Chain A
Amino acid sequence: MIEDNTQNSAPKSLVQNIAGKIDAFFGMIIGSIQEFILEIGSITLFGFQSIRLLFAKPYRYGEVLKHMEFIGNQSVGIIALTSVFTGLALSFQVYLGFKLVNAVDLVGPTVALGISRELGPVLTGLIVAARAGGAMAARLGTMRVNEQMDALDVMGVNTKQYLIAPRIIAAVVCMPMLTALFDFMAMFGSWFLCTKLVGLDHAVFMSKIRDTVEVHHINEGLLKSAIFGLMFAVVCTYKGFNTSGGAKGVGEATNRGVVMSMVSIIIIDYFLMNFIRIYYLITGVSR
């Protein structure tokens, strides 16, 4: 009898052990999902609270301009450089593909549509999120751990209005301008490759683009870029604003802010693309 009991208890404890591990595994997954949803909720609430303060006195025009200079003006160089090479590389790949089917005349419009609707806003969003978004999270995180935000609080200054709202509005305003610059410079790169390096005719290149690309294609990209600007500014300021744990915490906040912004831009871009497509189908704006 004693021997039987021992034999029964061993498999039982093994089953219990496995069941416990499965339970813990699913508990961990559910916990992570809950945490993720909570964080999205917190970020959204933070964004709404900050945006509401854009319309409250005192208006912070000076701060908005200061951040526009940082986000916009200081990003011009890097956007111009990366966009030219994006235009060159993309055009060359499209040219190689279209050459196989004797459709090289369509390189210009294909690149123009791709740049204005997708690559322009997405790449501009990624570059500016990495450069300016990271700096925002690091700056705010440092202010938090160095008690500068507490100092603002006890001075009777609304920290969200003073630190967050101007950064968000600056990002939303600057992103379409930077995207327009990206589009222009990328198309310059494309034109250079097509007409100067692979020998396509300038007039054909230009006329095909004029025939295909419409203003709403460009507007679509600019609208997306404003949404990306809003997203990375809210995410990065949220991460910086809620930093804790000294220098390590600042590093983590910056890292998480940038990664979350970049991943969000790529995911949201897909859904925006579909929403815009549906809108076009409903309104009959485009094929």
Chain B
Amino acid sequence: MTPASNSQHKYAVELDDVKKSFDGTEFILKGIDLKVPKGSLTAIIGFSGTGKSVMLKHMLGLYRPTSGNVSILGTNLNTLDDDALTAFRCNYGVLFQSAALFDDMTVLENVCFPLEEHRRQLSKEQVIKIAMEKLKMVGLDPKHNHKLPSQISGGMQKRTGLARALALDPEILIYDEPTTGLDPILTEMVDNLILETHQARPGTTSIMVSHDLKAAFRIADYIVMLDAGKVLLSGKAEDFNKSDNELVRKFVDKGLKH
């Protein structure tokens, strides 16, 4: 990354020589070093199978590294046991590729859910009020609040997923391939939504894993490119434009053309 200083507290996410192997022989991550500054919007890009999702799951504490350290907001996840890790995850909001809404709950209930789980001191009315605010923030018409996820469009599902991710006002927002499989209009809408959400919440760190280089160039402060389980290049969009690396050139040329 492009570190502003060496102070640990400048970074929301720090990966220090993270290696991961599932079978003990083949390494998916081969020593990732990464620092994501607090308050930035960072895009992680790369070809399929380069370890993006595995790295993301390390950041979320869903996987533990074979070696190396993962620190989130100054806390080394390796030092947390399962219960502490579960509690720590309240610091994240995640928008999944499929939105991952609970299909037996309405739109409003989906957004209320994290509040009911973690803000037990709030009354039912307060929970609903906050959830409605979040849904309004992501631009979802209140007339859809009582519909099931299967009754709304893909774009609305993404908005609901984002409202749910924002419910607990997390310090880190993670977007896991948010536009994969969407049409160009919906893709642009989701990209704009990510940018607007990031700008509306100063101090929140946003991390977007994507194949979409155009979007990464347009909205991200920093871009990290992975290849074969290692960071190939990290920096701003101009660093990618200037790079002489053959793989980076190939990715940039193809990515910006489409």
- 18 A-B interface contacts by CB (under 8 A): A146-B98, A146-B100, A147-B97, A147-B100, A148-B102, A150-B94, A151-B94, A151-B101, A154-B89, A155-B90, A155-B114, A155-B168, A156-B88, A156-B89, A156-B117, A156-B118, A157-B86, A158-B86
Contact (A148, B62) CB under 8 Å given A154-B89, A155-B117: no
Judged by DSSP, the binding face of B is mixed
Answer whether residue B251 sits at the interface, using C-beta atoms and an 8 A cutoff: no
* Chain B positions near chain A (C-beta within 8 angstroms): 60, 62, 83, 86-90, 92, 94, 96-98, 100-103, 113-114, 117-118, 120, 164, 168, 174
By the criterion CB–CB under 8 Å, are A58 and B102 in contact? no
- Chain A interface bracket (under 10, 10 to 19, 20 to 34, 35 or more): 10 to 19
Chain A 135-153 interface 0/1 with B at a Cβ cutoff of 8 Å (1 = within):
0000000000011101101
CA distance A151 to B118 in the complex (A): 14
Q: Which residues from chain B contact A150 at a C-beta distance below 8 Å?
A: 62, 94, 96, 100
Q: Which residues from chain A contact B100 at a C-beta distance below 8 Å?
A: 146-148, 150-151
The 8 Å CB contact of A154, one of B94, B103, B117, is B94
Which chain B residue has the least Cβ–Cβ distance from A56? B83
Chain A 12-34 interface 0/1 with B at a Cβ cutoff of 8 Å (1 = within):
00000000000000000000000
CA distance A150 to B57 in the complex (A): 10
Q: Which residues from chain A contact B92 at a C-beta distance below 8 Å?
A: 154
Q: Which residues from chain B contact A156 at a C-beta distance below 8 Å?
A: 86-90, 114, 117-118
Smallest CB separation, B257 vs chain A (Å) = 31
By the criterion CB–CB under 8 Å, are B113 and A155 in contact? yes
Which chain B residue has the least Cβ–Cβ distance from A158? B86
Smallest CB separation, B72 vs chain A (Å) = 12
Which chain A residue has the least Cβ–Cβ distance from B174? A154
Chain A 150-181 interface 0/1 with B at a Cβ cutoff of 8 Å (1 = within):
11011111100000000000000000000000
Smallest CB separation, A58 vs chain B (Å) = 7
Contact (A58, B120) CB under 8 Å given A147-B97, A154-B92, A158-B86: yes
